[in-house]
Structure 1
């Protein structure tokens, strides 16, 4: 039971039956029973409380509420955890991939008369079967079995007596292992072993598998297995969940009697504590014939609910009578070749629909502008296997062939491959509220007699394009349904979005064009931008629409709604208005704009069909310019070098490289005593006020625009690398100082200009877009007075500090210096922040030349400074430690 969520990595697709949707009991370790609902199917299932909250077992095998999803696992909450108070969503479950099934699909159109299929029975050494082979022969083949009908009766009814399955039942065979070895909680491949064992036993007993190749393609068409006991779909995960799969998924396909045996379905012996009913077997057999599941395979909605066999209808039209499985929906019957819909192409009144349970009468109406979408009309009555249906009446089905090519056509609500237009307009199936009710048919419990472009639900396409199809005057008279169908006008106008553009964080424009052969009295549309980066700020009418009144708004969902009324859009082609958008981005980006809900009415007030063409809007980049400011100083001095920033978009991150040529400038922080050893200057700690401003100055001084921002600065490859970030409070557009670099001018600098450059710029806007265009301009730093070797006083050569040797070094280097008079001198090593790392000299010195060595074995690689200070004189140089 601890393996409630099991993953199988395989390349086969597995079809299955949905969960029972009836209350099941779980037992806590202390013996307490709790009543839950089992949701999902063989591949993706979970337990929910009556309120819809998911339960999962914790490490102590206690059933508790799930608190979160982590990858493909449900995470249990603590004991006493209440999901409602913690705002945990209902129906929490992992989205697991489904394996594929590449086994051949039988061609039932090639079948002559009887369709022969095997049903093999297999039991376990520790769990024997309760019902005999004859019981299953009767369930499959006997007319009127159990007073409700056999498997054969069901398929003959839904095929209008065109399909006659004839099951050969054989068994019971004995499995090699005990019951729990093959359970759902052990993984699917164990169930495949059980199927292969049944096949081998049947072959050994003399079964001729060649008789089950009905279409002559060399493959057994529909192998069916029944295992002893119930199925996991009733709640006990140690059982096998009914499913359709293939032996080749576990490399166990086999050839006997000249035919290959691969595709199979497996079903339980027991259901509701008695012999299994035909519903689950009929559903899995539908998969064997090539039909997909029409419930929502990810569990987020109900698909077509109990209204069709390939969804919850395997449990009966009322969800609780699997002895009366629901008919296939008309799309499924069409796929099987058992009915051909009558195509309606013109207005037709008083259409008479006979009960579909008895007569293969279904009408189809194609959407006029979407080749893949169409509607099907059928009259469903409480007769035959549909006897327990919620309510009788007209069912209107909405198909989209684009969605019907994969294994889960109904997993993307509300855009289903096969959807039911529910007459009450509540969309309960899409919302996952039950599996159908009396409000779904027309007129139904709400007395809805109309389905058209303005009704709820409406006859639009899944892409919101009106069809002008109207099914109205819907009448249910005894067992007959009567309707009028209007196809609407065939007049079509085309709406097109022209290419639009605008600068980042500014206003741009895009035009909406209309091609119409007649005057239009009203037009409206909704524009969806993806990604959501455009905000509508205005609409400008032109000559074609100048007498119209216009309204526009930006919805909470970020869509732009525009409506033109009270005038005339003259017949013609071209732009009818221009939209102004604010470009809500700091970076260049292409925005796709899709038009939906485009409605138009001619001058007589009649609605016309509007086809739409999507457009592209380009938010254009705008250069954000970094510029070195003017600065100057003498060799050996420390000066501030400003960087100005002209920005027009909000930014959350700015980074760049600052370099000088010749390399005379180095980052510098005023030396300080790190008394508390925290690696930074703190109020009260002594420092050398190099620039004389009375305050400690670090290597950078932030401008007011980024005051308080996080930043990082360091030297590498004779350049300064600077980054700053503040996502909660982005940098507003402005032109002003960004940062000042406090730079030491080399004592060896020569008089003249030093070229400054800004490069390697990275800017990220406030939304996290990294494509902001950054531009660096050049600048000049002027060395006003050059220095002589080792002397920043320019007065004497007797006081000097030489460049260390070697440099760079690891870990030892030698420093030479001279003092000209008897005085107290210090020689300190500082890091780039100004913190004293090492004191090499701190004593009275006689005039002369000195040499000291620094062993840097215990400090990190990086840029350091060393300073000779004697009396009122000082010289500072830079050294580099590379480890």
Structure 2
């Protein structure tokens, strides 16, 4: 039986301080940070400690030996089911629309039971009652999901129990050597078997595939994430096949995906719905959007997002609205793409089902910016700030499925673009993250922060083409802004892409040296960023070698290039070794030709491209290849700045050119400082 937990979990509730003891008896105050898969205690001075169960005291955390997400081997089924809509959905997600029923099983342990009054009747209200009000509660789980989906997702629950399990909580929630719960799968298995005669599990199969969508276990007492002992269970979402080694089969239905959360907060008060909504959202297929590998360093989406720190807003009684990304992923929102110059007036807020806008990286449409209006009302009443929330998304299926979206602090894949330029994790600093802030009412390639990208845009830069200005929060809580569309360089003629590999300073190729033992060992250095190869890349003498003699089938991919019909592609290539080899040459998914490389001899190749749009070149090699001078040329080449003339109407056209003849658009405000030409005259932008 497998009894080790590595699933998706809620982060620790901020502010959970306790006294820990070291080997010499020293007592320290430290705060719990992290999640189920990676957590420790940190003192006010920033020193980190972990509990050593073999020694019975806390020791300094060793960063070199601490478990990483890759070591934890998250099972694919604990991931996100591939849920992603990077292009706005045109149809709602039928799985997450209409009337749907879930199951909540209330669970006592042999040594821990629900407090008086925390019974099935109360939890039925917490789960299902419309406009639910009780103590600090501001709504039910049903209310929350109905609001996020704008009424499209009518979710209710059968709430059963409590049932009492055979063992103490420590059996199910006790930690292993790295701090993870040992046997939560057994808790779920016992709970499901205990209610077998109370429910019809087929009612929780939403798509008639013979598998229950999820089972939710709500257990008595506290959780380790919120003030409980190390023997308490940490709320999480996982699957029984990974936890136990097998799924359950009840009523001829497969039961695999589950989630769980706790009855009480660390204070002993009744827990709110924030953690329930967080873990249930994992069951819908969405990952965590805090940094799951370096707890407390950077929450990325902070308290603006249920799937980050927002699960604890207002003591977990007021989880924030789904972000525009999350609504889009579930099929509840279709963002409006901004392509042309647009003035947006009185944009309604997220909690009022206002619109969202999307700005794509035209070189890679898996990367984009989302714009939404967030105001401190409705489910967003407890968010840190108000204004235009800008989220930068760079989707990668592997990162989403492994729940590692924001593990790299230098490449956060779903994170706020902070108006103050500081992406902190504490609540007070997050209040400054929305636009406008302290006079900062713009976001473009020249603003601070800038509208940067991780992947090349269609113009070859790592910036959005367009930009925002005049961002304003109106007295009525709406937001207004202006969008100025970017313009691609006027590459109607001339060389539109050129890679010389001139920065490669090794030996081989252009120096007529073809010995692969001593040559082609230099560092690969390209003029353009974005080249990638499934095998090795080395620098020759102002050329580059790709592929390996030991492995056939390497694929070389170029940066994104904006093609127009009838562009001409040229390059030089040669084989390595003493035998001929072949290369399949693609533009996008279109095969141009299968070329044969002569060994140790340059050949020139030329193709007329019939595709258009932002595409990459791909070279699929049977063996190794040396490549040089990759060029895309547009017909009717012009090398000089054309004379600007007065039109028949007597108006000058206002087009701006660099001194090298590159068209730069017509908006002087978007230009960096330098010398330019407009209407035939030079001018200097300061």
> What TM-score bracket applies, with the shorter chain setting the length?
0.5 to 0.7
TM-score (norm 2): 0.66
- Sort the Cα spacing of 1:182 and 1:346 in 2 relative to 1 into closer, same or farther, 3 A: same
Asked if structure 1 preserves the Cα contact closer than 8 Å seen for 2:214 and 2:257, the reply is yes
Matched with 1:770 is none
Q: Deviations over 1:833-873 (max 9, x none)?
A: xxxxxxxxxxxxxxxxxxxxxxxxxxxxxxxxxxxxxxxxx
Asked if structure 1 preserves the Cα contact closer than 8 Å seen for 2:97 and 2:154, the reply is no
Matched with 1:34 is 28
Are residues 1:154 and 2:144 paired? yes
- Sort the Cα spacing of 1:397 and 1:177 in 2 relative to 1 into closer, same or farther, 3 A: same
Matched with 2:499 is 497
Instruction: Figure out how many residues of one structure are paired with residues of the other and give that number.
Output: 506
- Looking at structure 2, the residues matched to 592 and 116 of structure 1 have their Cα atoms a distance apart, in angstroms, of 60
- Sort the Cα spacing of 1:125 and 1:350 in 2 relative to 1 into closer, same or farther, 3 A: closer
- Looking at structure 2, the residues matched to 605 and 189 of structure 1 have their Cα atoms a distance apart, in angstroms, of 63
The higher-RCO structure (CA 8 Å, 6+ apart) is 2
Q: Deviations over 1:225-246 (max 9, x none)?
A: 0111111112532110111111
Matched with 1:169 is 159
Are residues 1:24 and 2:17 paired? yes
The Cα shift of 1:63 comes to 3.0
Mean CA deviation greater in 141-150 or 161-170 = 141-150
- Looking at structure 2, the residues matched to 425 and 112 of structure 1 have their Cα atoms a distance apart, in angstroms, of 38
2:452 is matched with which residue: 442, 449, 460? Answer: 460
Matched with 1:402 is 396
Is the strand fraction higher in 1 or 2? 1
- Sort the Cα spacing of 1:474 and 1:173 in 2 relative to 1 into closer, same or farther, 3 A: same
The Cα shift of 1:497 comes to 2.6
Matched with 2:113 is 128
Q: Secondary structure at the match of 2:195?
A: helix
Asked if structure 1 preserves the Cα contact closer than 8 Å seen for 2:210 and 2:254, the reply is yes
- Looking at structure 1, the residues matched to 530 and 339 of structure 2 have their Cα atoms a distance apart, in angstroms, of 32
1:421 is matched with which residue: 417, 427, 430? Answer: 417
Q: Deviations over 1:111-168 (max 9, x none)?
A: 6642111100111111222121222112111232324111111111111121121111
The Cα shift of 1:95 comes to 6.6
1:183 is matched with which residue: 154, 173, 178? Answer: 173
- Looking at structure 2, the residues matched to 406 and 353 of structure 1 have their Cα atoms a distance apart, in angstroms, of 33
The CA RMSD measured in Å over matched residues stands at 3.8
Q: How does 1:343-354 map to 2 (within 5 A)?
A: 343-354=337-348
The Cα shift of 1:348 comes to 0.6
- Looking at structure 2, the residues matched to 492 and 414 of structure 1 have their Cα atoms a distance apart, in angstroms, of 33
Q: Deviations over 1:493-548 (max 9, x none)?
A: 6453313454569x99xxxxxxxxxxxxxxxx8979999999xxxxxxxxxxxxxx
2:185 is matched with which residue: 174, 192, 216? Answer: 192
Asked if structure 2 preserves the Cα contact closer than 8 Å seen for 1:267 and 1:280, the reply is yes
- Sort the Cα spacing of 1:374 and 1:592 in 2 relative to 1 into closer, same or farther, 3 A: farther
Q: Deviations over 1:544-603 (max 9, x none)?
A: xxxxxxxxxxxxxxxxxxxxxxxxxxxx9999xxxxxxxxxxxxxx99999xxxxx9634
Are residues 1:241 and 2:231 paired? no
Q: Secondary structure at the match of 1:345?
A: coil
1:274 is matched with which residue: 251, 256, 269? Answer: 269
Asked if structure 1 preserves the Cα contact closer than 8 Å seen for 2:372 and 2:390, the reply is yes
- Sort the Cα spacing of 1:53 and 1:293 in 2 relative to 1 into closer, same or farther, 3 A: same
- Sort the Cα spacing of 1:593 and 1:232 in 2 relative to 1 into closer, same or farther, 3 A: farther
Mean CA deviation greater in 327-336 or 406-415 = 406-415
Q: How does 1:218-257 map to 2 (within 5 A)?
A: 218-235=210-227, 236-249=229-242, 250-257=244-251
Q: Secondary structure at the match of 2:77?
A: coil
- Sort the Cα spacing of 1:459 and 1:198 in 2 relative to 1 into closer, same or farther, 3 A: same
Asked if structure 1 preserves the Cα contact closer than 8 Å seen for 2:33 and 2:39, the reply is yes
Matched with 2:484 is 486
The Cα shift of 1:413 comes to 2.6
- Sort the Cα spacing of 1:197 and 1:485 in 2 relative to 1 into closer, same or farther, 3 A: same
Are residues 1:144 and 2:132 paired? yes
Asked if structure 1 preserves the Cα contact closer than 8 Å seen for 2:489 and 2:664, the reply is no
Matched with 2:298 is 301
- Sort the Cα spacing of 1:98 and 1:217 in 2 relative to 1 into closer, same or farther, 3 A: same
Unaligned ranges ≥5, structure 1: 1-7, 74-92, 509-524, 535-571, 576-589, 595-599, 610-883
TM-score (norm 1): 0.52
Q: Secondary structure at the match of 2:72?
A: coil
- Sort the Cα spacing of 1:606 and 1:498 in 2 relative to 1 into closer, same or farther, 3 A: closer
Q: Secondary structure at the match of 2:183?
A: helix
- Looking at structure 2, the residues matched to 119 and 194 of structure 1 have their Cα atoms a distance apart, in angstroms, of 13
Q: Secondary structure at the match of 1:271?
A: coil
- Looking at structure 2, the residues matched to 21 and 96 of structure 1 have their Cα atoms a distance apart, in angstroms, of 26
Matched with 2:600 is none
Matched with 1:624 is none
The Cα shift of 1:209 comes to 1.1
The Cα shift of 1:257 comes to 2.1
Asked if structure 2 preserves the Cα contact closer than 8 Å seen for 1:72 and 1:96, the reply is no
- Sort the Cα spacing of 1:202 and 1:94 in 2 relative to 1 into closer, same or farther, 3 A: closer
